Structures are given as C-alpha cells and as structure tokens.
Structure 1
Amino acid sequence: MKERILVVEDDTSLRQWIDFELSFDGYEVIQAADGAQALAEVDRQESLDLILLDVQLPGMDGFEICSRIQQLPAMSAVPVIFLTARASLDDKLNGFSAGAVDYLTKPFKMAELKARVLALMRSKAVQRSVGRQEEHARSHGELDEAAMIQRALMTCKLGTICCVDVYAECSPARSVGGDLYDVQPRTDGRLSIVEADVSGKGLAAAMVTAEVRTVMREATSMLASPGAAMALANRRLYDDLTGVDKLVTIFAAYYTPETRSVIYANAGHSVAIHKAAGEPARILEATGMPLGIFDDADYEEHVVRLDIGDLLVICSDGFPEASDVAEQMFGYDRLLHAIDDIADRSAAEIGK
C-alpha cells in the first residue's frame, strides 16, 4: 500500500508541484487549499502517514488546523511538517506546541522537502518495527524488566532538600515511556532539577530517555548554569536524536537556598508552572527549542523567586492533554486552577 500524504497549501502552483514530485516518488498525495478542505479530507481518510501544512492559510491558520487534527484520536500520531515563510523562534515554538515535528522555511528546495519526507517515513517504519519488538518483549516478560530499570534510573532522594519540599513521580502511559526526572544536590550547595520528555511512547522513547538522563546529569554537574548544561546536552545528543527522529523537551533549573531563587531554561514546551503565594498560578514560557532540532542551539535563562508558600510544578504534557470519557482535554486552564486550589498542601499530597 502506498504511503499517503496530505498537502495543505493555498498556492496552487506550489501545491501541484509538491503533488507531482511526491507522486513520482511513489506516494499517494491528497490536496487541500485551506483549513476547511484539510479538515474535510482528514475526516474522509481512513489513515494518513504525513501532513505537509502551510501556516499562512485563508480563514484558519496552520497552527489551529494542526491543533484540531491532533485532538482526533485516529490522527493524533500523524506527523506534521509546517511549510512557511515565517521563521522566527516564536513561530517555530508555536508550531511545535501545536504538534508539528518539523519546520521547512519557504522558499525551499524540493530535494530538501523530499529528504525530510523520506526520513519521516523511515522513522515511522522503525517505530512500527520497535512496536513489534515491544509486543514480543511484553509477551516474554522483558518489558517488565525494562520498566524496573527505568524506575531505578529515576530513584533519587526526595523530601526536604536544600530547604525546599520536593516530590516526584513518573507514571508512563505504557510499561515504559519517554518521561524522566532527576533531582540532585550540586557541590556548590544549589539543587539541580531536571524534567524531560522524549517524543513518542513505549520502548523506543525509553531507550532514548536513558541516554538523555546520563548526558543531562553529567552536564548539570559540570556546568554552572542550566542553559549551558542544556546546550552541551543538545550538542552531544543531536546526532543520536536526529538519527532516530526524536525530540526532547527539557526543563532544567538550579535552586539557590540562600536567595530562594530558581534560574531555569525551558527547551520546547515542558509544562512548568510557578504559583506565588497569594497570586494565581502562571506558566513559565519556553526559552528555547527542543533538543534535537538545531545542533548549535542556545537556551535563554530566566529567574523566579521561591518565597515561603510558593510552589513550582513541573510535569509532562500528559497532564493538560489528558482526556476524559467524552474526549474533552483537561487543558492548561483547568491545570492552573487545580494548582491554585491545592497549592497549600505538601509536595507529596500535590503530586499524588
């Protein structure tokens, strides 16, 4: 069966050119000129392997289209590549937050587009193979052992550390997954806090997570700032991440007890929320791109103060993206309100 690609582009000549080139390479191409047509085609198709999506479209922009497609259970795993002339950092972060896996800036060379499409298709084939291996491992009890090892890698001292109340827990959607946390006192008296999320789920994500944990622990122990640690980790992980088509969102922070300050860098869209006593909870915005996109990425640092009664919550996107039986997402607003309601409890009570 041919792999199927939906091309959403309002420029007719560009859309038809992409159709011609990809069809020549053996793909089945479906065209849409705007958001309404794109959503109609998504509803009509039993399956898609890839979506090429223009950002600047009449009526509904690409970010909104991508978000709506991501909410459809049958299409939530379909990779999206944005095609756009808008190449600012904010635009790219918005795209990745909406669910895109790649960004191609116009004007682009067709050879580059075809190379990225081929890489994604190969990655999907690898993921299907890993899925079969995971099923085999599950049937032979090997996945339980992998889960035990992953839990052991996230065993660190919790409770009162460096004068703050700390709690952490990881509950992957499957036996193993792509989430990790690491809390370690530094030799300079500060507390290092890392939360990371590798794209994808299951055994493939878990294998990458182990490497990310090792590299980040080394980087945060060596370097005096979380942004520098993140940049070093990205350089060391870049080739491996691109080789398996994975991205990593990371929140890394150092807490200084003497000043009650947290300096942090947020790569991508890790969910980090600061709740100051007497004030509503607020999201700490991303300060850089996820690891695995650019090999020379820099990560800006911001500082927040943690006074007595303040709360810092760092979690995976599984919280706001969780759905109830009616398939309604929990969402960021409800998460913020929930944190406001329970902020006076202990860290362990909040976590559980």
Structure 2
Amino acid sequence: MLDLTLVVSEPTTTAASLCRCLEVDGMPARLVSPDEVLQWSAAEDGMPDLLLFNARVDVTVVRAATRRIISTASRPPTVVAFTDDDLTFLEPHVLAGLDYIVPPYLPGQVRSRLLSHHYRQALSRTAEEIQTAGELLKYERELQIGREIQAGFLPDALPERAGWQLTARFHPAREVAGDFYDAFELCGGTRIGLLVADVCDKGVGAALFMALIRTLLRHTAIHLPDGDGTALTEGSHGDAAVLTRAVCATNNYLVANHLQQAYFATLFFGVLDPESGSLVYVNCGHNPPVLRRARGAYRLLGPTGPALGLLPDSVFGLRWVRLHSGDTLFAYTDGLPEARDRAGRFFTTDLMLGLVAARDGGAEDLLDRMEREVSAHIGTAERADDLTMIALRRTPRRENPGGRAARRAA
C-alpha cells in the first residue's frame, strides 16, 4: 500500500479530483505546488511513496524534485505523470521515460493503475540492483584475480646471505597497487639487486605499469648482454653497468611507448656486494632511503636522477656507500610518511626517521615497529596510498646471521 502520495500541481479541477479518488481508495494524498515539492524534505515532511505530477509541470522540474526527494529519503519514490483531456502535455514526459495515467479518473481504477506502476517500477529497480550487484561481484572477482597475478610479481622469498638480514612489507591501499619491491641475485650470485618503486596513481592502471616496469628492470639487469662494453664483472664497474643499462633502457622504453599514458615511476635500485658491503645505487626521484649506522647516526640517500618515464635520454647518476657491521638500509614508498589519521594528519618523515634511529633490534624488528606505529596512527581511517618497506641489515658477528622471507599484507 502507498502511505503517502504527493499530487504535484497548481490547484486545478483534475488535481482535486485525483486527490479525492485516492482518499476514497484509502491512499493518503496531498496536493502540493511545484515550488513546494522542490523544497520537500522526506525527513521533516514525510516520505512520499508516489509522486503524481501534472503533465503541465516542466520535465526539468520533475527531475529536480525527484532528485531532491531521493536525496532526503531512504528509498526512491514511484513517479507518474497525469493530464486532463489535453494529451499533448504528456509527450515530453513520455519521451523522458515516465509512466502516466489519463482520464477518466475513477475510484478503484486510479488505485489499480497507480499500484501497477508502483510495483512495476519497484520490480525494475530491484532488477537493476541485482544486475549491479552481479556486476560488482564480477568486478571484485576480477580485482582479486588481478591481486593474485600481481602477487606473482613479488618475490616469494628474499635472497639469503650469511651475515645479512633482508626483509620487506607490502600493503596495497586497494586490491591492486602501484608500489612494488624486488630482490634478486646477479652476477652468478655474487651480487644482490634491491628495488623499491612507486608508480604514480593507484589501482589497476598503476598495477599494470608496475608489472611492466618491474619486468623490464629485472630482465635487463639479469640479462645484460656480453660484448657491448658493459658486460658484468665482479667489482664496482660491473655493478654500475647493471644499474646504468637497466634504468636507462627502461626509461627510454617507457618514454618511447607510453608517454601518452602519463604514468611514471620513482625508484630506488641498488646492487649489493655481500662480501664487501659495498652498495652502488641510483635514486630516480624516489623518497630518500635511510642508511642507519650501527651507533644510531643516519644519512639519507637522495635522488640521483629524475623519475622513470618522464624524459627521453635522462641522465641517472650513481652513488656508492658501504654497509659495515650493524648498519641498516631502510627503503620505503611515500605511503609511509604520508599515511594519515582520521583528522588528516600525516605520519611524517620525522617520526619515521625517529623510529629508524632508535635502538636497533634487526631488520625484522624495524619493520615490525614501523608497521605497529603507522597502523596505530592511521587507526580507523581509510588507507589512502600503497605502503612498501624493505630493510637490509649487516648483522654484527655476535648475532645469528641470515635472511628472512618476504612478508606481504593479507
């Protein structure tokens, strides 16, 4: 049953007749002007189940009034047009897709026709909701498949070397992410490549570029060709060749083939010699990783070149550092310092640096502490950006050395 019907019309004989028919049929009705319905609030004035518009009311007013009531109501009303003997006024309403009734307006007959329109529109809305729900389930399933595929691009386990700890964390803001990290062996296992990157934007598009960039970097670094003057050798020159070739080739490919998509990536890419502790790196516009010394002092490894995919023939500088016993390298994406609480306050770089500089308990302990602190900061707020962290520590001799498996967010 319809609890409240609004007959939207200036006072006319036809409108008054309709109101009487509805009252006789036990359907409460109120005659309101177009101006009144435009100010109607379902919460304050009552929730109408049916809007019965005089066809002389302009279609734009019908749409505006319907939107107004829907915005203040718990459910959409049924909308029907009516007319007197002049059917020409119905044409724009029919073209707009509205149901309608025409004279004669008799008790019983009016009720039957309006209830028919009401149930048909309700059924149509239900069918649309079912279809939308089905499409949403399909979309969610496709996103889940995308997340599983993306997980395959992240390492199942990180390289292990005596005297070193290596661990990582990965928390996508959505089902798929633009962040990624990687760690892999180079030069016959005598080197380890370390990657942390952040593709601009989030979601499916960023995830696709993540997969592309990760594949290009890893493949080019591992399969550096011999005989071109940059063949891999043990020593700093071979390590530099890996970085130079991989980063430049990836950048030039992105600029040549995907510049119109306007995606780019910031990146920290380092090549570690586990034997000596030497690390040669390139920082392509990425958040500066932190090199923490054993006694708590630290330095930031700032950018040495622009982000990947922005400019052709970009120049990427190389830098060298050495990790001594007890030193830790901490790399991350901007989702860490820019994590926000419900009030919009950032986690901040200063807080992050304070945690890195605090008492050292190992690579795993550092990331555990960082996760706890950022989770406590975010609280119940929605995560706005992907968050990726990787920590590399050269263990003091008194500790039990070894690497740790990568840990991904559930």
TM range (shorter): 0.5 to 0.7
- Structure 2 counterpart of 1:204: 205
* 1:274 aligned onto 2:291: yes
Cα separation, 2, equivalents of 1:347 and 1:138? 40
Structure 2: tracts of 5 or more residues without a match = 1-134, 225-237, 369-410
- Tell me whether 1:285 sits opposite 2:286 in the alignment: no
Q: Partner amino acid for 1:334? A: L
Q: Does 1:218 align with 2:214?
A: no
- The normalised TM-score by structure 2 is 0.50
- Which residue of structure 2 lines up, in the alignment, with residue 245 of structure 1? 262
Q: Write the distance in 2 (CA, Å) between the matches of 1:316 and 1:241.
A: 23
Deviation at 1:271, TM superposition (A): 3.7
Partner of residue 17, structure 1: none
Whether 2:196 is the aligned partner of 1:180: answer: no
Structure 1 counterpart of 2:398 = none
The percentage of aligned residue pairs carrying the same residue is 30
| CA distance, structure 1, for counterparts of residue 140 and residue 175 of structure 2 | 14
Distance (Å, rounded) in 2 between the aligned partners of 1:325 and 1:246: 29
What SS class does the counterpart of residue 350 from structure 1 fall into? helix
1:161 maps to which residue?
A: 161
Q: Which amino acid aligns with 1:174?
A: R
**Distance of 1:280 and 1:326 partners within structure 2:** 32
Partner of 2:366: 350
Gaps of 5+ in 1: 1-134
Q: Per-residue deviation at 1:220?
A: 1.6
| Match in the other structure for 1:312 | 329
Q: CA–CA distance in 2 between the matches of 1:161 and 1:313?
A: 18
8 A contact 1:181–1:195 mirrored in 2: yes
Query: Which residue number corresponds to residue 228 of structure 1?
Result: 245
8 Å contact from structure 1 (residues 287, 300) kept in 2: yes
Mapping for residues 1-352 of structure 1, pairs under 5 Å: 139-158=139-158, 160-161=160-161, 163-188=163-188, 189-223=190-224, 224=238, 225=240, 226-342=243-359, 344-352=360-368
AA at the equivalent of 1:164:
W
1:237 to partner: Cα distance:
2.0
User: Residues 145 and 257 (structure 1 numbering): CA distance in 2 closer, same or farther, change over 3 Å?
Assistant: same
Would the aligned equivalents of 1:181 and 1:194 in 2 still touch at CA under 8 Å?
yes
1:181: Cα distance to partner?
0.8
Any idea what the Cα deviations from partners look like across 1:49-105, whole Å, max 9, x if unmatched?
A: xxxxxxxxxxxxxxxxxxxxxxxxxxxxxxxxxxxxxxxxxxxxxxxxxxxxxxxxx
Q: Distance in 2 between matches of 1:162 and 1:310?
A: 15
**Deviation (angstroms), 1:326:** 2.4
Q: Cα deviation per residue 1:163-194 (whole Å; 9 max; x = unaligned)? A: 42110121111111101111001134011111
Q: CA separation in 2, counterparts of 1:330 and 1:140?
A: 30
Map Cα deviations across residues 274-305 of structure 1 (whole Å, 9 max, x no partner): 10111423321100000111110121011111
Distance 1:330 1:288 in 2: 26
Residue pair 1:196, 1:270 contacting (<8 A) in 2 also: no
Using a 3 Å threshold, how does the CA distance of structure 1 residues 266 and 138 change in structure 2: closer, same or farther?
Answer: farther
Cα pair 2:194 2:269 within 8 Å, conserved: yes
Contact 1:282 1:336 in 2 (8 A): no
Report the count of equivalent residues. 218
CA distance in 2, matches of 1:163, 1:184: 17
Q: Measure the CA separation in 2 of the matches of 1:308 and 1:177.
A: 34
Shift in alpha-carbon separation, 1:271–1:151, aligned structure 2, 3 A: farther
Quickly say closer, same or farther: Cα 1:314–1:137, change in 2 above 3 A.
Answer: farther
Match of 1:220, SS state, is helix
Structure with more relative contact order (C-alpha pairs < 8 Å, separation 6 or more):
2
2:108 alignment partner in structure 1:
none
Contact map agreement 2:158 2:184 (CA 8 A) in 1: no
- In the TM superposition, what whole-angstrom CA distance separates every residue of 1:117-156 from its partner, at most 9, and x where no partner exists? xxxxxxxxxxxxxxxxxx9576441101111111121024
| Residue aligned with 1:170, SS | strand
1:92 matched residue in structure 2: none
Query: What's the Cα RMSD here?
Result: 2.1
* Match in the other structure for 1:101: none
